[in-house]
Structure 1
Amino acid sequence: MTTENNSGKTIRFMAPLVLGNMLNPLNSTMLATAIVEITGAFKQNLGSGALLIVPLYFTSAIGQPLMGRLADLFSAKKINILGFLLILVSAVIGIYAPSFNWLIVSRILMGLGSSAAYPSAMTMIRQRYAAMGQQVPSVALSTVAMASQVSIALGPFLGGILTESFGWQGIFAVNIPFVIIALLLSYNNNNYPESPKAKTGLDVPGLTLFSAFLMLLLLTLLYPTYLYIKLPLTILLLLACIYVELKHEQPFINVRLLAINLSLSTTFLRQIAINFILYLVLYGLPQWLEQSKKINPSRVGLMMLPMSAAAMVVSLLISKTSKYIHLLIFGTLCITAATCGLFFLNHNSPVISVMGTAVLIGTAIGLLTIANQGTLYAAAPANQTGTSFGLFRTVGYIGAIVAGSRLKHEFHNGATDQGLHQLTVYGLVACAIIILFMLPAIFKKMKRI
């Protein structure tokens, strides 16, 4: 009976955390098959769809470490609930948006609200099992990770079905039942211990400078005009951010950690390039399929499902291996081959060749995700694991932001074959970056042998 009671408490404890961690990747990937419909409805060019992609990742890049710090300062449970409420407001604004700009506001709120889920979940899991005097079971952590993987896999397919059945508003409306269920499960749930108060406050100067740097970088990428003003200002803000963070006891971005740990910093740089390719394909391919090959959204979503499923299945199959360098090498070969394959796609290409390329990219993403997480865990100092994984999420969002800016420019006049091939060039540059920053890990491994 006690075991059954404990099992029931664990399920109730984990359920809202799992739901929360599904919403950021779900809302990221559902949009992929709805962009053509949305831009058409508001009479925007297809490239403007990036203005719905980038804000979510911009606010997530800032929101993840911010919400994590707020969870430490106040209460992880309260921050988790705050996140759900912001998602609810975001969904309502999205459904009834009178203009394209209101959709952008909705995506900003979605990015901020969904950023609360991961850091608050990790904090609550750690606190619950610490209060019980137990080690955190691996199944708890893997369940949260799997929630994100499942959402990524289902997002394009679900987005296509919702868009075709209920219009583009469906991808916003689907959040409402998720949030209501999560709030009901969270209400009066005594399984969540109260967070201990943090000893130091929020690094407001670091947060402000990093946000300003990221905003100016974003504007430079999306609107590459007046570069003689924007580029120097961007560099100055970055230098100011670095200087302030080096002086702070509990920095918003731990710059010193990056400076002294080569394995850690090269892992982050690889992750930027990996996410750049992932989101180029995840958003670019559906738009190209809908416009150039005239395929309806639900079929496009179905065609993208094997890519995400491949990433999820591969991640599961190799999740227990510790041969991260082998995974890194094989994953890099796969993603380079798949990116080259995009060059050979055109509007006359058979569907099977498109799906084959997508599955190969999904396989590569699965391999590289596990490899990068493994090398990150090995490189991160034991007393700064949480900080390191928070930065890992942030740099991943930067890769997505850069991908969104490229999509805006190359698909400005429509998702054409030429635009797809130009995106492929950027993808190959990212492959070169992955290879370059993989070399230190290989050399380190060879020295041990």
Structure 2
Amino acid sequence: MSARSRWLMLAVGLGVSLNPLNSSMIAVAIARLQHVFKLEYTVVSWLIFSFYIASAVTQPVMGKMSDLFGRRKIFLAGLVISFISSVLAPFSPHFGWLVVSRVVQSIGTSMMIAVGMAIVRVHITEKQATALSVLSIFLSGAAAIGPFAGGILLRWWDWPAIFVVNLPFTAASFLIAWRMIPKDEAAAPQAGRASIRSWLTKIDALGILFFTVSLIALLVGLLSVSSSGNITLWSGIAMGIGLVALGTFIRHEVNTASPFIPLRTFKQYPAMFSVNVQFMLVNFLFYTLFFGLPSYLQIVRHVSEFQTGILMLTLGVSSLIASPIAGKWVDRAGPRPAMAVSAILMMLGSAWLAALKETSPVIHVCFALTAFGIANGLNAVGMQAALFKSSPKDMIGVASGLFNTSRYLGTILSSLLTGIIMGGTFSFAGFQLLSAMLTFIALALVILGVRFRVSEQLEGEV
């Protein structure tokens, strides 16, 4: 790989790592922010909801918009937006400002995720597989080290530091990217003359609107019920709007020519649908632990942010160790064995947490973290391989978009479940209930995987 290619890899790697880094650092800051702004847990959860809703919408949209503006411009614009959000967030006068800053940050970092892989594919021609694997290390490494980095920043400074830390990375990535990413080719004449209406149709602006409204309204309604303990007029209206928007979204996506989420694909390829359902459940399980355990450690067990970060590092390290081993295993035996073992590990980890007592040594959570970390490493490879196996070659782009959407839906649902169970305060009883529910969901994932494998075998015999 040439020196120019290595510098380009560094620019893109720094940029794409900002999304997983910022989505994971917040895990150890939730308890601190809840105390600073004097809010209920369900309200603080919007720092997680807002980030993943914005990511779910932005990444596929920016992939399409890069055809109009160019990948280089999208990448550089994402860095500028991320820089601005990181400057404004520490000065948040109230919680609403901070949530808006997180949304802006998610949009900026998602813009780089959306085009970063394509930039590497187009502009690095030698040892391309190595380049893509290095990019994956940036992504997984940032997510793994996020809680640990957040714990250190909270110990030595305060919550604004988890935003300020982005500034040198965004600045360095921008300067290198400006010099090393080649300029975009001129847009085709017909693309330049395309009307705003045609581009809104291409990105399915109506579908995005219905999708976003349905998610936000349903989240608001369900969390309001959880917080108040009963269905109020306001929560009923919110859930009603959410259900109507969801139904309208499904109908629109089935009938539109360029859908935001091509639901018809699931009907055509049931195996792809099954993989996406399993991937959503996997992320639901993983991120429930990922965001719930730091709050349990800090609020219930009174562990410091720094010590929480150290403990959470177990999750990231075990995941990074398991990933290359999983790659060799999947190459030899296929994705299903690795996925089955990962589901069993998550079930055992959840059951272990459910069995913990209030006086159990804190270090005991490392068993569950290790189990989930290994499971995450197995899934990182196994799920991707299962997706490729179940998807037609000419639809791999669409399949990848649906795959990422399933990831974000799982993450959003995990935060929703935690918010509903905990209500205003994160408690030990709530954590036990949450862990017990995760155990049964992981069991359902094991059964789903077994049934899907049986159906594959039957199809092969036919």
- Fold conserved (TM > 0.5)? yes
Bigger shift: residues 54-63 or 317-326: 317-326
Partner of 2:167: 176
* Counterpart Cα distance in 2 of 1:9 and 1:399: 38
Which 10-residue stretch deviates more, 345-354 or 74-83?
A: 345-354
The corresponding residue for 1:165 is 156
Check whether the contact 1:206–1:244 (CA below 8 A) recurs between aligned residues: yes
Q: How does 1:346-365 map to 2 (within 5 A)?
A: 346-365=357-376
Question: CA–CA distance in 2 between the matches of 1:67 and 1:195?
Answer: 18
Distance 1:144 1:433 in 2: 33
Q: CA RMSD in A?
A: 2.2
Instruction: Note if 1:423 corresponds to 2:431.
Output: no
2:386 aligned to 375, 383, 405, which one?
A: 375
* Aligned twin of 2:185: 194
Q: What is the aligned partner in structure 1 of residue 248 from structure 2?
A: 240
> Does structure 2 retain, via aligned residues, the 8 Å contact 1:128–1:193?
no
Could you tell me whether the CA contact under 8 Å between 1:288 and 1:416 is conserved in 2?
A: yes
Q: Cα gap change, 1:46/1:241 in structure 2, threshold over 3 Å: closer, same or farther?
A: closer
Partner of 1:117: 112
The answer to whether the aligner puts 1:325 opposite 2:316 as a matched pair is no
Structure-1 separation of matches of 2:185 and 2:9: 16
The CA distance in 2 between the partners of 1:239 and 1:291, in whole Å, is 39
Give me the whole-angstrom Cα distance separating, in 2, the residues matched to 1:120 and 1:195. 17
* SS of structure 1 residue aligned to 2:45: helix
Residue pair 1:86, 1:110 contacting (<8 A) in 2 also: yes
**Structure 2: runs of 5 or more not aligned:** 226-230
Gap runs ≥5 in structure 1: 1-5
Shift of residue 231 of structure 1? Answer: 4.6
Residue 445 of structure 1 deviates from its aligned partner by 4.2
* Counterpart secondary structure, 1:250: coil
* 2:132 aligned partner: 141
In the alignment, does 2:296 pair up with 1:288? Answer: yes
Task: Give the alignment partner of residue 271 of structure 2, picking from 263, 266, 280.
Answer: 263
Amino acid at match of 1:156: P
1:385 aligns with 2:393: no
- The separation in 2 between residues aligned to 1:445 and 1:203, in whole angstroms, is 34
From the superposition, tell whether residues 250 and 47 of structure 1 become closer, same or farther in structure 2 (CA, over 3 Å): closer
Task: Provide TM-score, normalisation by structure 1.
Answer: 0.92
Q: 1:70 to 1:405 in 2, by over 3 A?
A: same
| Letter aligned with residue 206 of structure 2 | P
Q: 2:445 aligns with which of 411, 425, 434?
A: 434
Q: Equivalent residue of 1:319, what SS?
A: helix
* Deviation sequence 1:362-416 (CA, Å, 0-9, x none): 1112212322111111112212212211221112111111111222233334332
In the alignment of these two chains, the number of paired residues is 440
In structure 2, C-alpha distance between the alignment counterparts of 1:336 and 1:58, rounded to whole Å: 27
Shift of 1:274: 1.1
Give the aligned residue type for 1:153. Answer: A
Q: 1:104 aligns with which of 99, 105, 110?
A: 99
Q: 1:406 to 1:9 in 2, by over 3 A?
A: same
Higher relative contact order at CA 8 Å, sep ≥6: structure 1 or structure 2?
Answer: 1
Distance 1:176 1:9, change over 3 A: same
Per-residue deviation, residues 318-366 of structure 1 (Å, max 9, x unmatched): 1242321111111111111111111112331113311111111111122
Question: In the aligned structure 2, how far is the partner of 1:72 from the partner of 1:219?
Answer: 35
Alpha-carbon contact 1:335-1:360 (below 8 Å) kept: yes
Task: In structure 2, give the amino acid aligned to 1:421.
Answer: Q
Deviation at 1:244, TM superposition (A): 2.4
1:13-42: CA deviation from partner (whole Å, max 9, x where unpaired): 211211111111111111111112122112
Q: Contact 1:276–1:430 (CA<8 Å) still a contact in 2?
A: no
Q: For 1:149-173, what per-residue CA distance to the aligned partner results, in whole angstroms no more than 9, with x for missing partners?
A: 1011111110000011011111011
Secondary structure of the 1:437 match is helix
Q: How does 1:4-43 map to 2 (within 5 A)?
A: 7-43=2-38
TM-superposition CA deviations, 1:164-220 (whole Å, max 9, x none) = 101111101101111101111111435354375579732222222222222223323
Q: 2:66 is matched by which residue type in structure 1?
A: A
Q: Determine whether 1:58 maps to 2:53.
A: yes
Query: 1:104-149: CA deviations, max 9, x gaps?
Result: 11111111111112221122223325xxxx5872112212211111
**Residue in structure 2 matched with residue 3 of structure 1 by the alignment:** none
What CA distance in whole angstroms lies between the structure 2 residues aligned with 1:413 and 1:440? 39
TM-score (norm 2): 0.89
More displaced stretch, 309-318 vs 217-226: 217-226
- Indicate how the Cα distance of structure 1 residues 232 and 437 shifts in structure 2: closer, same or farther if over 3 A, else same: farther
For the 8 Å contact 1:80–1:120, the answer to whether it is kept is yes
CA distance in 2, matches of 1:118, 1:380: 22
Q: Say whether the 8 Å CA contact 1:310–1:362 is kept in structure 2.
A: yes
List aligned pairs for 1:84-103, cutoff 5 A.
84-103=79-98
1:151 aligns to what?
Answer: 142
Which residues of 2 match residues 271-350 of structure 1 at below 5 A?
A: 271-320=279-328, 321-322=330-331, 323-350=334-361
1:412 aligns with 2:423: yes
Q: Which amino acid in structure 1 is aligned with residue 147 of structure 2?
A: P
Q: Is the 8 A contact 2:221 2:236 kept in 1?
A: no
For residue 311 of structure 1, report the CA deviation from its aligned partner.
1.3
